[in-house]
Amino acid sequence: MTTSKEKTAAKTAPGKDDSPDKKTTGLTVKKPEDFSEWYTQVVQKADLADYTSVSGCMVFKPYSYAIWEKIQQLLDAKFKQLGVKNAYFPLFIPESLFKKEAEHVEGFTPEVAWVTHAGDTKLDERLAIRPTSETIMYESFSKWIRSWRDLPMLINQWCNVVRWEFKYPKPFIRTREFLWQEGHTVHETAKQADDMVMAILNIYNEIAEQSLAIAVQSGRKSEQEKFAGALYTTTIEALMPDGKALQMGTSHQLGQNFAKAFGISFLGKDGKHQMPWQTSWGMSTRVIGALIMAHGDDKGLVLPPNIAPVQVVIVPILFEDSKKEVLAVAEKIKQQLQKENVTVEVDDRETYTAGWKFNEWELKGVPLRIELGPRDLQGKQAVLFRRDTAAKETVKLDGVAAAAKKMLGEIQQSLYNKSRQQLENGIAPAKSVTEVAAAVKNKKLAKAYFCGSAKCEAEVKEKADGANSRCMTLDDEEKKGKCVVCGKEGVVTYFGKSY
């Protein structure tokens, strides 16, 4: 165990620079008391993002971008297993091209940013800055697809998009520019497209629950909430601690609407020209915001091991007479963990106290900390600290790597279990619009029967403080019942306020 002498040294070691300009300041608000301010402080003090002079736009600092890279790697591997290939299409979309699919244009026009000049010269045609890429990609698809042999066409791109939101910006959750992947596929039949929609939805569900450790509810969007121009939209929805739902990924069956608009056709096996079926799907950097909100606590971030850029940090407690020996053992533990495919850092900075480092790594949400001092070496042991529970465990040095690997798995599962319990506790059954409104007021998702009509959804929104349908069940075995608004046949639907 760390001795009282080492604890004192960790807090007040002479010569250490803990001056206010270098010291990481902890959070000054508690998560349950001021959720919005807590979130803002975590984003800034955990060094995730910075504001810019462009309103509604932010800088992804290296730490948050490293989280996004982990998400990219996980998603990309799964997409490629389905045969999806990566490509890149232009950021700028000519206005005439953008307007080809009327319903799509109507859905996005309020958020589109336009380029009108090049230098002092006015452009002959305005260029939309990519809010989504259906139109620019499908122009190419119409040239690339000639026969059934060209199908299925499975394309994904990693890029940025711009949607000129006028709502209050929130880093990662609602910004005018964000990063995402958007997949676009073309198929011979409706069933093949339907299967792709569900395959992607399952991938998103798996990433959310197994990697991000966030429990989600999957389902289909209502006609009012579906993607503009789609036949239908599927989604995964999470419930945040403030009672709001967060859409974490969507997968759309586009039908043949865009094929008609862009002249995409193919010569079928029967020798006749046919129109294909298309899908599109995306997950964005807003899932980083979900990570922050779902798992963070009053000390800062809490990252699931499967998505953490640093899974283990080793903090050696250093004294001049034992520094060399302690660092040598720390390096040995690091190498052992790396052989287990664990990402690990040794924080050997001598300008900060061990106590300061403890606080900083807790703020940054590193799942597991290993503390190692000279007394620990004498006892041939180390102290393991779990970020999720703040529990400490003393482990023999020759078993540290195995214990750490096991503990990372326990942390991952524990965070998911906690999230699953919060989601289940956050769902309230409702048999009337009044009960839907009561559930929303109590910061819960209302589970009710809903017919799916725009008129009924508008009434719920009016009477339940702006709440809307988040998703309608995909489970055919769910019993049907009377819509909470009109009494017609409806399916199980989740209502809530959203970001």
User: Do the domain assignments include residue 462?
Assistant: yes
Residue 416 has pLDDT above 80, yes or no: yes
* Residue 21 predicted with pLDDT over 50: no
E strand spans, 288-429: 312-316, 344-346, 368-372, 381-386, 392-396, 427-429
Q: Are 382 and 312 in a shared domain?
A: yes
- Residue 13: per-residue pLDDT: 37
Q: Are residues 291 and 170 in the same domain?
A: yes
413-425 b/e (C-beta count within 10 Å ≥ 16 → b): ebbbebbeebbee
Residue 97 lies in a domain: yes
- Assess whether 196 and 68 both reside in one domain: yes
Name the packing angle between helices 323-339 and 400-425 (round to 10°).
Answer: 60
Q: How far apart are CA 161 and CA 151, in angstroms?
A: 27
Cα–Cα distance, 275 to 146 (Å, whole number): 11
227 and 349 fall within a common domain: no
**Is residue 218 situated within a structural domain?**
yes
In 3D space, the residue among 67, 498, 72, 473 whose CA is nearest the CA of residue 295 turns out to be 67
Give SS3 for 316: strand
Classify residue 44: in a domain, yes or no.
no
**In terms of DSSP H, where are the helices of 340-399?**
354-363, 374-378
The SS3 of residue 321 is coil
Band of residue 206 on the pLDDT scale cut at 50, 70, 90: very high
Q: Rounded mean pLDDT of 195-212?
A: 98
The predicted pLDDT at position 23 comes to 44
For tokens 């040239």, name the residue: 143
Percent with pLDDT over 70 in the chain: 95
**Same domain, yes or no: 98 and 230:** yes
Above 70 in pLDDT, residue 93? yes
Whether residues 260 and 400 share a domain: the answer is: no
Give residue 169's pLDDT: 86
User: Are 340 and 442 within one domain?
Assistant: no
Closest CA to 497 of 445, 422, 435: 445
For residue 8, is pLDDT > 80? no
CATH number (domain holding residue 91): 3.30.930.10
* pLDDT tier, 463 (very low <50, low <70, confident <90, very high otherwise): very high
Decide if 259 is inside a domain: yes
In this predicted structure, the answer to whether residue 342 has a pLDDT above a threshold of 50 is yes
Give the amino acid at 35. Answer: F
Q: Given a cut of 60, is residue 12 above it in pLDDT? A: no
Q: Which of 233, 266, 295 is the last residue of a domain?
A: 295
Q: Which amino acid is at 288?
A: I
Amino acid 14: pLDDT: 32
The whole-model pTM stands at: 0.93
Cα separation, 463 vs 437, in Å, equals 7
Domain containing 323 — which CATH number? Answer: 3.40.50.800
pLDDT exceeds 60 at position 238: yes
Percent pLDDT > 90 in the chain is 88
Given 244, 271, 295, which residue is the final one in a domain?
Answer: 295
CA distances from 349 to 145, 158, 317, 359, 382 (A): 58, 36, 10, 14, 19
Q: Indicate the helix (H) or strand (E) that contains 223.
A: none
Rounded Cα–Cα distance for residues 1 and 273 (Å)? 75
Q: Do 404 and 361 fall into the same domain?
A: yes
> 279 and 351 share a domain?
no
pLDDT value for 103: 75
Residues 160 and 235 in one domain: yes
Q: Which domain holds residue 395?
A: 4-10+303-413
3-state SS assignment for residue 99: coil
Mean pLDDT, residues 290-299: 98
Domain boundary among 295, 330, 360: 295
Q: What is the pLDDT of residue 18?
A: 47
Beta carbons of 238 and 290 less than 8 angstroms apart: yes
C-alpha dihedral (191, 194, 198, 200), degrees to nearest 10: 110
Residue 378 lies in a domain: yes
Give the CATH number for residue 453: 3.30.110.30
Given this model, what pLDDT does residue 478 score? 77
pLDDT of residue 485 exceeding 70: yes
Q: Where are the alpha helices (DSSP H) in 263-391?
A: 286-295, 323-339, 354-363, 374-378
User: Would you say how long the chain is, in residues?
Assistant: 499
3-state secondary structure of 136: helix
Residue 327 pLDDT more than 50?
A: yes
pLDDT per position as a tens digit, 154-171: 999 999 999 997 677 899
Specify whether 370 is located in the same domain as 461.
Answer: no
- Domain presence at residue 401: yes
How far is Cα 288 from Cα 70, in angstroms, rounded to an integer?
A: 11
Mean pLDDT of 401-417: 98
> Would the pLDDT of 151 be above 60?
yes
Q: Do 120 and 217 have their domain in common?
A: yes
The pLDDT of residue 427 is 98
Summarize pLDDT for 450-461 with one digit per residue, the tens: 999 999 999 999
Count of CA atoms in the C-beta half-sphere (13 A) of 390: 10
Of 477, 423, 417, the C-alpha closest to 445 is 423
Is 230 a domain residue? yes
**Overall domain count for the chain:** 3
